Amino acid sequence: MIADLGGAAALRFIDFFTANIGDPNTRAAYGVAIHGFFRRLDQRGVSELVAIRTRHVTADVEMLTRSYRPPTVKEHLAAIRMLFDWLITGQVIGQNPTAAVRGPKYVVKKGRTPVFDGDEAKKLLASIDTRHRARPARPGTDRSPGLQLRPDFCGAGHERRGLPRPGQTLVGPAAR
C-alpha cells in the first residue's frame, strides 16, 4: 500500500522505523504490529492506504482484543497511530484514521512494590537502633544551622549553564 503511493511515501515509511524509533526492541515490536495490521487489511480487501478508515482500525482493535491482553493491543494501536501521524507530517496522506479509535482500558490496581500494613511498619520502626547518632553520609554535609550560602551564589543563573536570567546581572565570582 505504501509503495503504491510512490518513492517518497516508501522513503517516509522507512524513515519512520530508522529515524523516528531509536530503540531496536520498540522498532521490532512496532514492525510486527504494523505488518500485522496491513496484512489483516489486505485480507479484508482494503488495498489502498487512502481507503483506510476509522472503522477498519476499530475492527482491527476489536479483533486483537479477542486474542491479546490489553497492553499488547494498546501497543499495536500506538504503533499504527504513530505511523499515520508520521505519514501525515510527511504529507503522504491527509488524515489519520486512528485518531478517534480508543484502545481497551487497562488499569493497574496493584503494583509490584509491597506496601507495609500498620503492624509491619511499627515493627520496622521499632527495630531501628536509635542509641547512636548516625554520621552524615558524606563529609561536609553536617553544616551548622547558622551557615547560609551567599546570595550572589544562589540562583545566579540558569541551571547547569551559569547564564544570567533575562534582566539579571551576575555579581561575585559567577560574573567572571
Tens place of pLDDT per residue across the chain (176 aa): 888 888 888 998 888 888 888 888 999 999 999 999 999 999 999 888 888 898 999 999 999 999 999 899 999 999 999 999 998 888 888 888 888 888 888 777 777 777 778 888 888 888 888 777 666 666 655 555 555 555 554 554 455 556 666 666 656 555 55
How many Cα atoms sit within 13 Å of 73 on the Cβ side? 20
- Residue 167 in any domain: the answer is no
Torsion sign, CA atoms 52, 55, 59, 64: positive
How far is 152 from 170, CA to CA, in rounded Å? Answer: 8
- Residue 148 in any domain: the answer is no
How far is 170 from 176, CA to CA, in rounded Å? Answer: 9
- Residue 103 in any domain: the answer is no
- Residue 136 in any domain: the answer is no
- Residue 171 in any domain: the answer is no
- What domain count does the chain have? 1
- Residue 110 in any domain: the answer is no
- Which grid coordinates belong to 168? 539579571
Q: Which residues, including other chains, have CB under 8 Å from residue 83's CB and lie 6 or more apart?
A: 13, 16, 30, 34
Residue 78 identity: A
Range of the domain at 13: 3-89
Residue 117 pLDDT = 83
- Residue 108 in any domain: the answer is no
- Residue 128 in any domain: the answer is no
> Is the model's pTM score more than 0.85?
no
Residue 120 pLDDT = 87
CATH code assigned at 41? 1.10.150
SS (HEC) of the chain: CCHHHCHHHHHHHHHHHHHHCCCHHHHHHHHHHHHHHHHHHHHCCCCCHHHCCHHHHHHHHHHHHHHCCHHHHHHHHHHHHHHHHHHHHCCCCCCCCCCCCCCCCCCCCCCCCCCCCHHHHHHHHHCCCCCCCCCCCCCCCCCCCCCCCCCCCCCCCCCCCCCCCCCCCCCHHHHC
